[in-house]
Structure 1
Amino acid sequence: MVVEKCNNRERVTQKLLSLFCEKVDECLKTKELVKFAVATGNTYSGFLKRLHEMDIPFNKIDLFVVDEYAGIDYDDERSCTIDLCRDLKYIEMFHQTFFFNAESYLEQLKKMNAKLDDDPLDILLLGIGNDGHFAFCNRSEEYSKKDTYAIVHFTNSDIAKQVEYGWFSSREMVPKEGITITKYGVLKSGTVILSGLQKEKEKILKMILADNVPKEMAIYDIIQRNDVILVSD
């Protein structure tokens, strides 16, 4: 794993932008389109807000998200994707966006997995939780799935955490299922970049940097890749 340590949040954002542009340029030397997936939530908010400033051909980039609640439209206030769209500002600048909707998410999932089976994601910006999860992948039964994206059935504990983290005001409002990138999908991806700030992810960052992540954690096999990049402050 390659570790990129930065002095502060702003330097983290700058490093992420620089790495992303570099990887896009590399991909376009051999491909016509770049497939890019990014984590929702707070981790990449600064990156997304400044992405439109970069001098890269956005019309040659397809945009994916790494997770979403099943059965919710991407522009619903409850969705994972809506804040990403707000941060990006110019969502129309991309060649194509692959966001889920309420009515046809199962068919979308099937088509996306078929699309990515032979031609995986080129660039993946992934967040990490203090318990070692990524996206909605946090239990061993999801680790062995052989599709890039899968449906996750939320446990009572999962639902309680969604309320605890402030994503929903009550347990009754939390959807019963989520759509997540799988460990298989991450490991098949070209460039994998992890990021987190000490203030928010101190526990897991200490474990990663000390090479002390338990094998049962979702993130374990991913950080064993020598080319995975960790950007942190």
Structure 2
Amino acid sequence: MDIIKAKDAQELGKKAAELTANYLNDAINKKGQARLLLATGKSQLTTLQELLKQKVEWKHVEVFHLDEYIGLTREHAASFQKYIAERFVDKLELKKAHYISGDEDAEKTIKNLTNEIRTSPVDVALVGIGENSHIAFNDPPADFQTKEAFIRVKLDEVAREQQVKEGWFSSINDVPTEAITMTVYQIMQSEKIISCVPYKSKAKAVKRTLESDLTNEIPATILKRHNNWSLFLDEDSSSLL
């Protein structure tokens, strides 16, 4: 585990993007292609903005994302498909982008994505940490046992409230109660995991993650078991350490 501290979210994003690009370029040099897993949300914005500036042969990169609300169309302002497309995919010429669809048959979506994700490893996974210490939408108590790649989950109230506070929904009643998420197991199969966790709102989750033993009540604690995990913090998110 590497902990990299930055002054603020902008500096954090730049440092994380540079490291991400290095790993992508290394994979492309070795294999002729790379696979990138993207997180969404306010905390990931500066990293994605800076990653767009990096010199990467994007035509050799496939992109996946971590999760999506069930019942939300791609056109909805809070859709993670929309987030990924508008902020990243549509600005590049990628090899391919694999979207989690929230408004189609969930079981069919899970089956198709599982087939895609397991054709070869993810080289770099950008995985944030939620205010309730979730990774993707694996809310506590997260399922640490399943070997599935994607599952259907119920969202807890803290995760739903976070979406309202970040401005994606006007009230908690508007936030869907279910989602499709990549599992903890599948996230941990990634060759490299980079967690970008800025802002004061994440300080308690960061402290709990780093100072607690492995527990599915604090899902992010499992990241400490990965042999190539880098955690990027700013002055606010690291303020309780």
Bin for the TM-score computed over the shorter chain:
0.7 to 0.9
SS at match of 1:46: helix
Shift of 1:149: 1.6
Equivalent residue for 1:173? 174
Alignment partner, residue 29 of structure 1: 29
- In structure 2, give the amino acid aligned to 1:84: I
The amino acid of 2:124's aligned partner reads I
Which one is further off, 195-204 or 180-189?
195-204
TM-score norm. by structure 2 comes to 0.84
Gaps of 5+ in 1: none
Cα pair 1:2 1:228 within 8 Å, conserved: yes
Q: Tell me if structure 1 keeps the 8 A contact 2:139–2:159.
A: no
1:138-149 aligned at under 5 Å gives the runs 138-140=139-141, 142-149=143-150
Alpha-carbon distance change, 213 to 195 in structure 1, aligned in 2, over 3 angstroms:
farther
Give the partner amino acid of 1:201: K
8 Å Cα contact 2:59-2:94 kept in structure 1: yes
- Aligned residue pair count: 232
Partner in structure 1 of residue 69 of structure 2: 69
Pairwise CA RMSD: 2.4
- Matches of 1:29 and 1:74 in 2, distance apart? 34
SS of the aligned residue for 2:64 comes to strand
Q: Which residue of 2 aligns with 1:10?
A: 10
Contact 2:131 2:162 in 1 (8 A): no
Q: How much has 1:44 moved relative to structure 2?
A: 1.4
**TM-score w.r.t. structure 1 length?**
0.87
**1:82 to 2:82 alignment:** yes
Aligned residues: percent identity? 23
Shift of 1:214: 5.6
Letter in 1 for 2:205: I
2:212 maps to amino acid: N
Distance 1:118 1:86 in 2: 26
1:179-218 → structure 2 map (5 Å cutoff): 179-209=180-210, 211-213=211-213, 215=215, 216-218=217-219
For 2:13, give the aligned amino acid.
T
Q: Residue type of the partner of 2:40? A: T
Q: Which of 51-60 and 81-90 deviates more?
A: 81-90
